[in-house]
Each structure stands twice: as structure tokens, then as C-alpha cells.
Chains A and B, each alone.
Chain A
Amino acid sequence: MAEIIWGLATSHVPSIGAAHDHGRRDDPAWKPLFDGYAPAQEWMAEHRPDVAIVVYNDHANAVSFDAIPTFGIGTASRFPVADEGWGPRDVPEVVGHPGLARHLARSLVDDGFDMTVFSRLEVDHGLTVPMSVYCPDPGEAWPCPVVPVLVNVIQYPQPLASRCLELGHAIGRAVRHYPEDLQVAVFGTGGMSHQLAGKRAGLINEQFDREFLDKIQTDPEALARLTREELIDKAGTEGIELIMWLVMRGAMADDIRRVHDTYFVPASNTAAALALFANETSLATATH
């Protein structure tokens, strides 16, 4: 049976990818961020999953504004890296896991989540930057195949935080019912506080972010009660991406162990964070 062994919450700021791609990880402006990632990266390198489910949002690249699915899932065998307007990132193409993805699509629909199924999908920085955070030097190929799960955070009305947590619960149930022996990691991406447009551009709310970083482990139900208005008011219009962390959290066990976290301001115009959690029961089983 498949099981989820760990969950990673991470920002997906494009400039983190650019710092990777242009050899700026040791620049004074970036070194503290990447040093903060290192302990998590070492731990993840010792606990490689067979598949990663990456919960992210497209940024006006693969998803045209003709139709914006609230929730989607990618079932393709390959996901090319998108040109977002400045050339595609020089990172490996993302390989899919159609078997798990089709199982998830069917299970989630049966569980009341009417997913849009992407049989073709180019992936943008929302997915590839978290992959670089997971594996900074992949060489020719990423270390595992990926099932992309897409959430609309760009156009009002975005899904409720509570619904995202419930989607995570449903993903957890579906993974546990997948018949193959697979070890799975789940990534919740985006955030933390930031707003890109208008007079509130440059908004950072460290107090809110620190509380979110804490409660994503200890009290996700409290975070799931945040309204869209509260999220946008406190974390900024683009800070609403944090609802995608709740999908990851929902897929994990109730009790999880915090392996590592780090918080850094600013990555471009954004507060960036990473939080890595282990599903202890699954990891204990996995080693036997």
C-alpha cells in the first residue's frame, strides 16, 4: 500500500529559482535563505520518496484565463517546463506518475472533489521552484516523478481554506488506498505574506507568518477557519497562496514531527519560508 512519508511547505518565489539557475546561491542577499534550507535538504536526500504530489498554482502560463479550474490534477507522463515570458528555466523536464494520478483523480471525484484533469500541462515556477528547494542540484533528472495538483489562487473566488484542508484529507485517504507499495511526499507551495500590486505592494506580515508556520503543524483547523478576506487582509492578495499549505497538511497524519523550518525576508517582494514535517508512523514502517 502507498503511504505519505513526509510533507514540505515551501514558498515558490520565481527569484529563488533564478538565484539557483544563475549561480547566486552564495551571494550575500541569498546565502541566508539557502543556508536555511540546507538541513531540510539533507534530511530529504536521506528520505527520497518514490513520488511527490506537488500542490501549486499556475501563474497565467499553462492555465489560460478562458477557464480557471478551482482544483486540478495532472495525469500526463511528462510535464514540460514553461516559458513564462523570459525563457524556460534550465531544469529537467518533470516526469509524471500517471498511475497514481489517475487513481487520485478517480478517488477524489468519488470523494466529492470534482477535479479538472489535465492530460497536457506545462509547469511553471510554482512547481519547479519547490522542486529546486527539494533537490537543488538534480543533474539530468529530478529524483522522483511528480503528480501536480493545481489550486486556483489567482482569480476570485479562490477556494476556502477549509476546503483545501479537506482536499488534503481526501488525498491522504486516496494515497493510502493505492495498491502499489509507494512512498509519497506531499508539497504545499506558495506564500508566505506578500502583495505584488497596488499601494500595498511590499506588504510583509511576520507576526501572521510566524503564527501560520506554527499552527500548520499544531492547529491546522484554526488556519482553515480563516476567511478569504482575513487571508488577503493579513497576508496580502498573493499571500492567499498559503491555502495550498493546508492541502499538504490535510494529507498528513494528525500528529506530525517538525523536522526543520526557516523563515526569510525578503525573497524578491515576498516573505519566504520552508517547513518540513515527517509522518512518523509511516517512516517507522518504511524502515522495516
Chain B
Amino acid sequence: MDERAVPDNYLFTAEDNDRARALNLMCASLVRPESRETFLRDEAAYCDSYDLSAEQKQAVLTRDWAGMLDLGGSIFFVYKLAVVCGVSMQDLGGIFTGMSTQEFKAALDAGGRRFG
């Protein structure tokens, strides 16, 4: 199959792995408590220490969650950053779909969002 055959699938590919390597590595480092503290103390410096590109750094500093995915971030790495920033998977769902968190949760409580 062509990995882009299903629209909006955000399937993580080897190409994404390559182009978003710095961003994903930085997010991966947040599994260490001391890294979480260092990040929160000086986010910009922490991004620089992982050699994030200007675009990646901007997305992190402005909490542009959809932008991080579009730059190749893996949802599983980006989610680690979200948790450190106090953002839940339901908050992210709302942001990705243009809803408030409450609207997104209500859609799930009603049986989820249907496609096709």
C-alpha cells in the first residue's frame, strides 16, 4: 500500500523519522524526570541542545501541536511533551479537530467520531 493512501492518517514513516529526528529525540528525552525539569526551566535552550530546526523549535515554544505532527513528529513522542505541558490526549484531540476539549470528549462519549 501507499502509506499516504488513507487521507489524514498521520501514519509515521521512515521519512518522518528522518526529517523529525531532532524533535522526536527531544521529546523522547522527557522520559527522564531531570530532563522534564530542565526543559521547563528553559525551553528554548533545551530545544537548542537537541539541535531542533527553527520550525521545530517554533512549534514547540508556541505549543503548535498539529504543526509538530506536520513536521514529522510521532504522536507517541509529541504526547510526552504534551503531558509535560499539562495537555491531555483529549485536549490534543480537540485541537486537531477544531473542537473544544469538552466537545471532543462529548463526541467520544456519544460513541466516537464516524468516518466513511
Chain A interface (Cβ within 8 Å of chain B)?
A: 15, 59-61, 64-65, 82-87, 154-157, 193, 195-206, 227-229, 232-234, 237-238, 265-266, 268-269, 271
Contact = CB atoms under 8 A, between A and B. Distances in A.
B1 interface: yes
Interface size range of chain B in the complex: 35 or more
Contact of A197 (B5, B75, B112): B75
Given A83-B31, A196-B75, A229 B97 contact: no
9 contacts: A64-B28, A65-B28, A156-B3, A197-B69, A197-B75, A200-B115, A206-B112, A229-B5, A237-B9
B18 to A, nearest CB: 10
A203 B112 contact: yes
B57 interface: no
B12 A265 contact: no
- The majority secondary structure among interface residues of chain A is loop
Contacts of B41: none
A233 B6 CA distance: 6
B83 A204 contact: no
Contacts of A200: 8-9, 113, 115
Contact of B74 (A154, A233, A234, A266): A154
B9 A203 contact: no
Contacts of B12: 154-156
Nearest to A85: B80
Nearest to B95: A201
B84 A85 contact: yes
A242 B26 CA distance: 29
Contacts of A85: 30-31, 36, 79-80, 83-84
Nearest to B96: A201
